[in-house]
Structure 1
Amino acid sequence: MNQHLKQSLLGMLIGGMAITGYNSTAFAQSEKATQTDPELKIYRAAATKINDLVHTKLDVRFDYAKRYLYGKEWVTLKPHFYSTDSLTLDAKGMDIKEVALVKGTTNSPLKYTYHGMQLRIQLDKTYQPTESYTIYISYTAKPDELKVKGSAAISDAKGLYFINPDGKDPNKPIQIWTQGETESSSVWFPTIDKTNQKTTEEISMTVDKKYVTLSNGKLVSQKNNPDGTRTDTWKMDLPHSPYLFMMAVGDYAIVKDTWRGKEVSYYVEKPYEKYAKNIFGNTPEMLTFYSKILGYDYPWVKYSQITGRDYVSGAMENTTATLHGEFMQKTPRELLDNNNYNESVIAHELFHHWFGDLVTAESWSNLTVNESFADYSEYLWLEYKYGKDAADEHSFDAGQSYMSMVQYSGDKDLVRFHYRDREDMFDQITYQKGGRILHMLRNAVGDSAFFKSLNLYLRTNAFKSTEAHQLRLAFEEVTGRDMNWFFNQWYFGKGFPQFDISYNYNDAAKKVTVIIQQIQREDKVWQIPLAIDIYEGGKATRHNVTVSNRVDSFTFAYNTRPDLVNVDAEKVVLSKTDDHRAFATYVYQYNHAPNYLDRRIAIDEASDAQASNPDAVKLLQAALKDKYHGLRSYTISRLSFDNENVKTATLPILVELAKQDPSSLVRAAALDKLGELKDPKYTPLFEAAIKDSSYSVEAAGLEGLAALDINKAYTIAKQLSNDSKGKLINAITGVYAKKANPEDVDFVAKKFDATSGQDKLNAAFDYLGFLSKINNTDAVIKGVDQVKAMTEQFKNSQVNTYISNWMQEISRKKSQESTAVSGDNRAALQKQADYLKKASEEIKNAIQ
């Protein structure tokens, strides 16, 4: 599952946005709540296996009007070890019509009890572990009548979703799709809904002939029925967990590809058929790449990817049939500004087909053996396809997302046997921190050992369920080393080290001593292997050391005083670091140290010193021409035009970047920075940008022009509004807000309504920003109600907290503005402020 920080939209929001109303006691309060919460005292063990699933056969049809599924199931099981005369199946919110034992061609009724969540069946005899038996169940699934809650990563848990089933929304297709993780497959078929169960499957779906279907495995038959329907049968011959079962039905275009003779297919809404290979076309190359590095070929019969409207989870790695949110559907023009985000999601879900689908976490406590690998697969793909800088930037953003979450809500163990709800496991610890831990593990053992260990882990545990210890054992077998020191501190503990680094040079003795102090507030002392590079005479000498005490010192000889001592030279350690050294070493680091973070750290130091240090300005000038577009964009964001020297030195470079940088994101960043100057001489540049193929560049041009000539910008915004996506919508709404024309209020409201899935989160923040700038009570009330309704749908406490706090901030702003006016304007602004405050409190109370 993709939880989205660039990898996960939620992660981007948490990692990239200030926490309005945040106070310094939040972490302490979180820690205190953790200590007193009775839910956290429950040990979350792996599910006890009494019966094992063997094969699941389903025959289903759909009632669109009632939003029901009518199902028949034949489920084959056998006792796991001990003999048993009973069976308990998860079956949530169903009507159970018949339960029988299949004996040859006849069904013998069985006694059962059912109270809405579990079906308890009394078998006809006591079965031994060597005996299998098949149960027949006739049932009706009623997902829309079931009250269940979701999580940060999965905003709903109905299992089976009917999208626009009555066709009343002309802007939305009629679709059906399923979402099984965590334990929601049992909403649409009775099963043992646990990760440590595995079963083969066969699903027959009867649908209207105009629709196509998708499920796990291979389409083995299609039968036309006299009533205008068609029955499609999908068969899965390899076992996998029930939460990975899926169905999808809709009016899709199917674009076919291939990989080593296996079908690779892309199911998209028909307007996107011609773009399907622009979106998904690197999938065969990913299959080759991952099969090669793992030494284990993609094991399944086919690989399909499909999009779903109003999807609740970003993306989901259903075996052989990944489901993506509709955000994946983009035109080539939109993909210009995508910065490999779509590809990261595609890579994430594909890699799950080894880590999660082939080898599955035995419990949600060990979810990291699924999700940290999928998270890290994004790094591996970006490193292979786009270079180490792109991968390292992605990794840095992921680490920052995790650290922001810790600041917001406290830290937890990576492998956690105590949690309030299994949905809580889907967080930045399991994903982003877990991915960074794998990166450190790779660095600690070396590439060859890392990938050989993954191969052994996969071969040993294929079609089984595992925990983190089995991963440790694979690494120990390959490396011949005890790895408990690594796993105990990173997998079965929490936190990260905080380093204070200082240097003592003795030119007489020609030695430098590096002093590394661990200053984290916790008692825990970390054992961290890291590299220290000594740059002397233009050459770097590598020293591998291990930090293992509160204070460690390492002394190295030199011939001439080093230009740079680069601690954690590989820049892999997940830590916070205060590094005490001269600015000249950062200049040298930017020019000579190879990694993305080496250069980014130097850029940060230069930006802090740009007002007073000419060498800092020179470094920023060089960084504006960095080989990696991400650092060019980042450097632009750090420039301070308050300083005339900085402005003079960098403006000519910025203008050229705005005109002709190959990256649309760099062009947009340069235009944004130039727009801050509000200088009419850049009007032609902004006007030219409005004709760019990139929405981001268009947006930057429009915003720059609006700061100079709002009437001209308003006219152009009207022209652009019919083809607006992404940041261009933000720019248009900003122009409309400045004009405050009541006729334009519907633009943002309609754009918000037209957005669904996780993209709606970004749209909500855009909407609130727009509402903060207008004095239109009806529009504010309508908009606040729309955003509030979204928070009720998403059920995402962290994002909803941000929205609540932002509403409070807008309320304060409008209340303050009301004191500067009189009459009807004053009353209107105060009414808006009161409504925002009320909605904010209601959202906050709902979270609690």
Structure 2
Amino acid sequence: MRKVVLVLVAFISIQFYAQNASEYRAERDKVHNLVHTKLKVDFDFDKQTMNGEAWVTAKPHFYASDRLVLDAKAMVIHSITMDSKPLNFNYDDFQIIINLPKKYKRDEQFTVYIKYTAQPEKVKQKGSAAITSAKGLYFINPTGIDKTKPTQIWTQGETEASSCWFPTIDAPNQKTSQEIYITVPNKYVTLSNGRLENQKNNSDGTRTDYWNFTQKHTPYLFFMGIGEYEIIKDSYKDIPVDYYVEKEYAPYAKEIFGKTPEMLAFFSKITGIEYPWNKYAQIVGRDYVSGAMENTTAVIHGEQAYQTPGELIDGNRQENTIAHEAFHHWFGDLVTTESWSNLTLNESFANYSEYLWREYKYGKDDADAHLFTAIQGYKSGQNYDKHLVRFYYDDKEDMFDAVSYNKGGAILHMLRSYVGDAAFFEALNKYLTDFKYQVAEVHQLRLVFEEITGKDLNWFFNQWYFGNGHPKLDISYDYNELRKTVTVNVYQTQSEEFKFPLAIDIFEEGKQTRHEVFVDRKESSFTLPYTKQPKLIQINADGVLLCDINENKVLSDYIFQLKNAKSYMHKREALLELIDKQDDNDAFDAVANALNDSFYLIRKLALENINLINKFSKRQAIDKIKQMASNDPKTVVQAAAIETLGKLTDPELKPIFVKGLQSPSYSVIGKSLVSLYYIDKPLAVAKSKELPDEVKKIIATPLTRIYLEENDEEELTFIAGNVISGMYLSQDRNTQSLYKKAYDKIAEGNNSRAIQNLVNDIVNKGKQYKQYGFHNVGIDLMKKMVKTQQSANKSNKIKNIAIIQDAMTRLLE
């Protein structure tokens, strides 16, 4: 699973990141082992229930048993039989305890039949920050009342929610093959795991699709997807690769998902394990509860995957997720974590696959930038005290955090660097081969790496997998000019003592020398030779070590570092330091020179922060930015250049902004409109009105800025649909402030259509994020709107209050 990080800034509290170390979380005992699961299902769309029949084949794990315990949440159990004979059972709304007709011995299989009704709306378990709901089976617009949204059904099993729609042993250490017969109205297509063996048309206008999956996987990976989809066909070798999308996005499906076959080929090559399943399908689900999910052969993505060419030209925002879920088909699906405590075996590998893919496809700078962002995500949260392998936690959902994902990926990068590429990938191959179709724990991964490398790796796994935190280093230097040596002093300031390899680069005039040292104590010193006085000493020169570094550098050090450092991380560090010192001519020149950097993110960062005050003395830099606005190979850099030029409010730049409105890139269009607005308001407003609705929706934030400044009542209806996302889901404070201003204007205004759009969005978001208490935030927002309207002297006051009060009632239902 690739989670969506939601920054619900107004109300998500620290409690979602807290750990409770009071209870040990063990692997679930294996009393019985699942062997095969056969299901027949159909649906009551009005009641949002599912009629099910299940044939569960199992066998005792070791000890003989005459009782089978299955997880089954919030179901109505109609009957349970074996060989047509009823079985006695007890059911408490969470588990069925079935009395078997005899005591079955180890490896003696039996099959029980269960007729039941699944009631997902009555499920009581809650989701997490990563997976926002846990009712297993989801009906989207089931009655078709919402004309803006299609009717769909999809499932989400991780962590233990598959048992909300079929009885099973809902634990990651179980593996079972499966069959599913899905009966739906003829207008819908279905998707499930494995192969679609046949379809049967029924006399009542329905159709039954038979999906068969003969290989073994864990219950949380079972999947059904149902809706009116176009199926776009693709392939990897002779394996079908299909994309299930709504008709509107069918023309763009291959632009969105089309790198999937190449990903499967790449991951097959680096693991040495050919893609192990018989198909690969991806489907997009409305109102999906996370980023995406790696259901075996049937991946589901949230609707953020939908993009048009004007967005895709700026970069496919779903590409990392597509790679992440694909790699799960080796790490997570083929070999599965035996317990949620060992979730790193699933999610850390999938997280690191994003680096591997980007390194292969776009180069090391791009991959390093992605890893840097991931590490910052880990460091910015309350994660320092958490272990990667965590046997003590409050809830299994807590494991889906920036430690299991981001830090785990960074740890794999360090392990790869330490053992070398050849050993790293050979160890992955052995791990996947030894444990295919099975479950594993981290100790087994360690033993595989030790067998391949011949190295003892207890120290590495103990501190990185079974420990917490990361090194925090104070660095100092002692020079001996007579001996021409420099002693690098490394002092660890954190309470834990780490051991780690460390790369140190010494830069002399025209020469760079790499030194590999090993830090094995709190205070370490390394004496290194040089020929001429070093221009710079770069610690963690390869950027591999997960750490914080404190050292004293002066302006000239950062100027040299920006020009000569090899890694994105060090270039970025230097650039950010110089940005604050641009009153110095040398610092400004260094920032301006960064506009020529070979890596687009450095160019973009320089553009966003270059100081063009006293613009007449900086004409050369401005001329360069004008060229970049039209000619940079990356449209996101073009957009940044246009935004920077817009700050000059120079009428001579108008042709650049007008030209930008013809760009295929939506980001360029948005920045061009705002820049044009500040030099020719009537033209910018007129151009904005000509934009197609789909473009306006994508560039809502710059348009909102323009329409608010223009006091454009006509456009408040458009603005209203974006207010809540802007206020609560954006991480940018300027965006939050902008949409707070929009909320206030609509709340105190007379535009009934805008008020209706705003409260509809509040209701939708309130229900979507109810578990975080956002329904209460929504009620408070609407109460304030009522008070504001009551005190206003507006012609539509009574109508507006009625609209708001009706929305409050809907949110409380």
In the superposition, the TM-score normalised over structure 1's length comes to 0.87
Alignment-derived partner of residue 610 in structure 1: 582
> How far apart in 2 are the matches of 1:305 and 1:331?
17
> How far apart in 1 are the matches of 2:272 and 2:53?
40
Preserved CA contact (<8 Å) 2:384 2:469: no
Secondary structure of 1:571 counterpart? coil
Summarize the Cα distance change of 1:788–1:410 in structure 2 as closer, same or farther, 3 Å threshold. farther
**In the alignment, which of 339, 342, 356 is matched to residue 380 of structure 1?**
356
Given residue 595 of structure 2, which amino acid in structure 1 is its aligned partner? L
Alignment-derived partner of residue 166 in structure 1: 143
> How far apart in 2 are the matches of 1:132 and 1:752?
57
Alignment-derived partner of residue 660 in structure 1: 631
For 1:534-560, what per-residue CA distance to the aligned partner results, in whole angstroms no more than 9, with x for missing partners?
A: 233423222111123222211111222
Alignment-derived partner of residue 641 in structure 2: 670
> How far apart in 1 are the matches of 2:476 and 2:10?
35
Secondary structure of 2:301 counterpart? strand
Given residue 402 of structure 2, which amino acid in structure 1 is its aligned partner? Q
Is 1:709 matched with 2:718? no
> How far apart in 2 are the matches of 1:769 and 1:380?
38
For 1:629-681, what per-residue CA distance to the aligned partner results, in whole angstroms no more than 9, with x for missing partners?
A: 11111111222334669844522221111122121100111111222222222
Is 1:235 matched with 2:229? no
**Which range moves more in the overlay, 542-551 or 666-675?**
542-551
**In the alignment, which of 667, 671, 687 is matched to residue 658 of structure 2?**
687
Is 1:539 matched with 2:511? yes
Preserved CA contact (<8 Å) 2:271 2:428: yes
Could you list the runs of 5+ residues in structure 1 that have no partner in the other structure? none
Alignment-derived partner of residue 529 in structure 1: 501
Is 1:770 matched with 2:770? no
Alignment-derived partner of residue 294 in structure 2: 317
**In the alignment, which of 24, 30, 51 is matched to residue 70 of structure 1?**
51
Is 1:272 matched with 2:249? yes
Alignment-derived partner of residue 3 in structure 2: 3
State the Cα distance separating 1:373 from its structure 2 match: 0.6
State the Cα distance separating 1:260 from its structure 2 match: 2.0
> How far apart in 1 are the matches of 2:88 and 2:245?
45
> How far apart in 2 are the matches of 1:168 and 1:765?
36
- The residue correspondences of 1:127-526 to structure 2 (distance < 5 A) are 127-337=104-314, 339-406=315-382, 411-520=385-494, 523-526=495-498
Secondary structure of 1:717 counterpart? helix
> How far apart in 2 are the matches of 1:62 and 1:318?
21
Q: How many residues end up aligned between the 2 structures?
A: 788
- The residue correspondences of 1:787-806 to structure 2 (distance < 5 A) are 787=762, 790-795=765-770, 797=772
For 1:254-286, what per-residue CA distance to the aligned partner results, in whole angstroms no more than 9, with x for missing partners?
A: 111111211111111112222111111111111
Given residue 77 of structure 2, which amino acid in structure 1 is its aligned partner? I
State the Cα distance separating 1:145 from its structure 2 match: 2.6
**Which range moves more in the overlay, 301-310 or 323-332?**
323-332
> How far apart in 2 are the matches of 1:330 and 1:479?
44
For 1:435-490, what per-residue CA distance to the aligned partner results, in whole angstroms no more than 9, with x for missing partners?
A: 11111111111111111111111111111111111111111111111111111111
Summarize the Cα distance change of 1:648–1:507 in structure 2 as closer, same or farther, 3 Å threshold. farther
Alignment-derived partner of residue 630 in structure 1: 601
State the Cα distance separating 1:20 from its structure 2 match: 8.1
Given residue 360 of structure 2, which amino acid in structure 1 is its aligned partner? Y
Alignment-derived partner of residue 569 in structure 1: 541
State the Cα distance separating 1:21 from its structure 2 match: 11
Secondary structure of 1:555 counterpart? strand
State the Cα distance separating 1:583 from its structure 2 match: 3.4
> How far apart in 2 are the matches of 1:54 and 1:575?
46
Given residue 555 of structure 2, which amino acid in structure 1 is its aligned partner? F
Preserved CA contact (<8 Å) 1:204 1:233: yes
Given residue 136 of structure 1, which amino acid in structure 2 is its aligned partner? Y
For 1:68-107, what per-residue CA distance to the aligned partner results, in whole angstroms no more than 9, with x for missing partners?
A: 11111111000011111101111011110110113xxxx1
> How far apart in 2 are the matches of 1:802 and 1:588?
53
Summarize the Cα distance change of 1:404–1:169 in structure 2 as closer, same or farther, 3 Å threshold. same
> How far apart in 2 are the matches of 1:807 and 1:574?
42
> How far apart in 2 are the matches of 1:585 and 1:248?
56
Preserved CA contact (<8 Å) 2:629 2:637: yes
Summarize the Cα distance change of 1:802–1:463 in structure 2 as closer, same or farther, 3 Å threshold. farther
For 1:717-739, what per-residue CA distance to the aligned partner results, in whole angstroms no more than 9, with x for missing partners?
A: 22225232565111111111112
> How far apart in 1 are the matches of 2:734 and 2:120?
30
Preserved CA contact (<8 Å) 2:256 2:316: no
Preserved CA contact (<8 Å) 1:658 1:671: yes
Secondary structure of 2:38 counterpart? strand
Secondary structure of 2:690 counterpart? helix
Alignment-derived partner of residue 61 in structure 1: 42
**In the alignment, which of 557, 568, 571 is matched to residue 529 of structure 2?**
557
Preserved CA contact (<8 Å) 1:502 1:581: no
For 1:353-405, what per-residue CA distance to the aligned partner results, in whole angstroms no more than 9, with x for missing partners?
A: 00100111111111111001111100100110011111111111111111111
> How far apart in 1 are the matches of 2:526 and 2:16?
38
Q: Percent identity over the alignment? A: 47
Preserved CA contact (<8 Å) 1:611 1:643: no
Summarize the Cα distance change of 1:752–1:91 in structure 2 as closer, same or farther, 3 Å threshold. farther
For 1:813-832, what per-residue CA distance to the aligned partner results, in whole angstroms no more than 9, with x for missing partners?
A: xx9xx9xxxx9699x9xxx9
Secondary structure of 1:125 counterpart? strand
Preserved CA contact (<8 Å) 2:199 2:207: yes
> How far apart in 1 are the matches of 2:732 and 2:99?
52
Given residue 556 of structure 2, which amino acid in structure 1 is its aligned partner? A
> How far apart in 1 are the matches of 2:336 and 2:245?
28
Given residue 285 of structure 1, which amino acid in structure 2 is its aligned partner? E
Secondary structure of 1:478 counterpart? helix
Preserved CA contact (<8 Å) 1:617 1:649: no
> How far apart in 2 are the matches of 1:465 and 1:765?
47
**In the alignment, which of 47, 56, 74 is matched to residue 93 of structure 1?**
74
Root-mean-square deviation (CA), in Å?
Answer: 3.2
Secondary structure of 1:720 counterpart? coil
Given residue 413 of structure 2, which amino acid in structure 1 is its aligned partner? H
Preserved CA contact (<8 Å) 1:517 1:552: yes
> How far apart in 1 are the matches of 2:206 and 2:158?
30
Summarize the Cα distance change of 1:801–1:108 in structure 2 as closer, same or farther, 3 Å threshold. closer
State the Cα distance separating 1:615 from its structure 2 match: 2.5
Preserved CA contact (<8 Å) 2:126 2:771: no
State the Cα distance separating 1:513 from its structure 2 match: 1.1
Given residue 649 of structure 2, which amino acid in structure 1 is its aligned partner? K
> How far apart in 1 are the matches of 2:774 and 2:546?
28
Given residue 346 of structure 1, which amino acid in structure 2 is its aligned partner? I
State the Cα distance separating 1:767 from its structure 2 match: 7.8
> How far apart in 2 are the matches of 1:762 and 1:229?
46
Preserved CA contact (<8 Å) 1:90 1:191: yes
Preserved CA contact (<8 Å) 1:93 1:145: yes
**Which range moves more in the overlay, 377-386 or 137-146?**
137-146
Secondary structure of 1:724 counterpart? helix
State the Cα distance separating 1:752 from its structure 2 match: 6.7
> How far apart in 2 are the matches of 1:791 and 1:445?
49
